[in-house]
Amino acid sequence: MISKDQTKTINGGSFSLDLETLHLLTFKAMANWAELPQDLLTQITKRVKAIEDFIAFGAVCTSWRIAATKKFFDVLSPQVPLLMLADKDEDYREFYSLSKKKVSRIFLPEIRGRECFPSEGWLFTMSYTGEMNLLHPFSHINIQLPPREDLLASEGLGEAPEEEIWNCMDKAILSASPSLTSDYVLVVNYYGRVNSLAFWRPGDLNWTNIDINTHGAVTSMNYYKGQFYSVTWSGQVWVFDVAGPSITKPIVKPRLLIWLKDKIFSQSSVKFYLVELSGTLLLVTRFSHGGCQTFKFKVFELDLIKLELKEINTLGDSAIVLGLNGASSVDSSKFIGVKPNHIYFTDDWEEELKHVEDGGGRDMGAYNIEDEKIESFYPGLSLSPISPPTWVTPSF
């Protein structure tokens, strides 16, 4: 009989195999798993809803791997983001599941010692040498991007000392998953001489800078209903389009949508996040003590018709996960382990990461919007000055 805690190796790492999800199997009666009929295996794979379980299923043996092909999985079904734990300067990376309350190890030498910015289930990564890539962490597909030096050349910083430009990247947002389409755009927010935006598309030989004159640095970006949105520390909300690879030289004209004059934009130790929830665009504000200890959140609906903020006091059955590189929403009613009306946050105070002992990772928790209390959701401590814990949505 198979124990409930049995694990299977995946790419040199391990994932916990959820036997309850695979309850239809009569393990006790079967002498050899590989002898299960292929049509039965196919029917089982169609009932697996979590990608991490689907991957574990395919890792059992050859016949199971044949059955666990992507065509039998709903690639558009919502998934609970996994907490990618901090870089330990080794070839394995650990992922914590909110649903299973377990840590899995995956062989990922490609991101060792790199800064990582997750988007659409992929990781934008940058090494200290300036090499930049898009990496799918579960399939190891790697897309090489033009190097950092090309990105910074227009700012006159190509010859700057490494220590001055190592931490130049701030945000990286994809318009769509490269797993699903080649018609996607990658927009990055970086620090040259000023806070700057640039984009890259499949087939582009170099980065293209976006001409935008913001008042204050960009604090959050989001791709919402076919357009990129950004918000600055001063309360400016900008919107712009970037045409896909079919247009050789697209003209990008950022437009100032609104300059929010709320007093929250004048407060110190506050961060802002743009997130889509149930078809609406929200602005989440995060308050901290000295930029290192979060104590409160406020959530506003950004009314794009009236061009104003409206504070909301509940997320309903939804939850928000936020941290390095942005935020996303989850329908908690569809998953175990995710509490409704909560904000799950990780440490993303970039300015503090390299100035505190062992780096960032201490400021994490689950904030209850109803009673404004914060509780822990991860039992350990995971620290790194380069790549602290952040959320990655599992995908193919």
* CA–CA distance, 74 with 46 (Å, rounded to integer): 8
* CA–CA distance, 310 with 340 (Å, rounded to integer): 21
Burial of 61 (0-12, 13-18, 19+ CB in 10 A): middle
The answer, yes or no, to whether residue 21 has pLDDT greater than 80, is no
Burial of 204 (0-12, 13-18, 19+ CB in 10 A): middle
Helices (H), the chain: 38-45, 51-58, 62-67, 148-153, 162-165, 350-353
Strands 115-119, 390-392: pairing kind: unpaired
Strands 342-345, 318-323: pairing kind: parallel
**137-159 residue pLDDT tens:** 988 899 999 998 888 876 665 55
Find the range with the poorest average confidence among 16-20, 59-63, 236-240, 307-311: 16-20
The answer, yes or no, to whether residue 7 has pLDDT greater than 80, is no
Q: What residues contact residue 38 under an 8 Å CB cut-off, 6+ apart?
A: 63, 66, 67
In the sheet where 142-145 sits, what is the strand order? Answer: 115-119, 122-126, 132-135, 142-145
Average pLDDT of 237-255?
92
Enter the DSSP assignment of 64: H
Find the range with the poorest average confidence among 4-8, 19-23, 95-99, 164-168: 4-8
Average pLDDT, the chain: 84
Run of H or E including 58: helix 51-58
Angle between helices 38-45 and 51-58 (to 10 degrees): 160
Structure-token match 């945000």, residue found: 171
| Alpha-carbon separation of residue 91 from 116, 129, 172, 358, 373 (angstroms) | 15, 18, 23, 19, 37
* CA–CA distance, 250 with 77 (Å, rounded to integer): 32
Tokens of 291: 């930029």
The answer, yes or no, to whether residue 329 has pLDDT greater than 90, is yes
CA trace torsion 10, 11, 14, 18 (10° rounding): -20
Tell me if 233 sits within 8 A of 195, measured CB to CB: no
The answer, yes or no, to whether residue 338 has pLDDT greater than 80, is yes
pLDDT of residue 315: 97
CA trace torsion 336, 337, 339, 340 (10° rounding): -20
Q: Which residues pair with 249 in a beta bridge?
A: none
Could you tell me if residue 307 is left (phi over 0), alpha (psi between -120 and 50 degrees) or otherwise beta?
A: left
Give me the sign of the Cα torsion angle 381, 339, 341, 138: positive
Tell me if 369 sits within 8 A of 343, measured CB to CB: yes
Average pLDDT of 364-390?
94
Enter the DSSP assignment of 252: -
Average pLDDT of 339-345?
97
| Percentage of the residues of the chain whose pLDDT score is greater than 90 | 54
Tell me if 319 sits within 8 A of 339, measured CB to CB: yes
Find the range with the poorest average confidence among 69-83, 134-148, 354-368: 69-83
Q: What residues contact residue 140 under an 8 Å CB cut-off, 6+ apart?
A: 11, 108, 110
Question: How many other CB atoms are there within 10 angstroms of residue 42's CB atom?
Answer: 15
The answer, yes or no, to whether residue 301 has pLDDT greater than 90, is yes
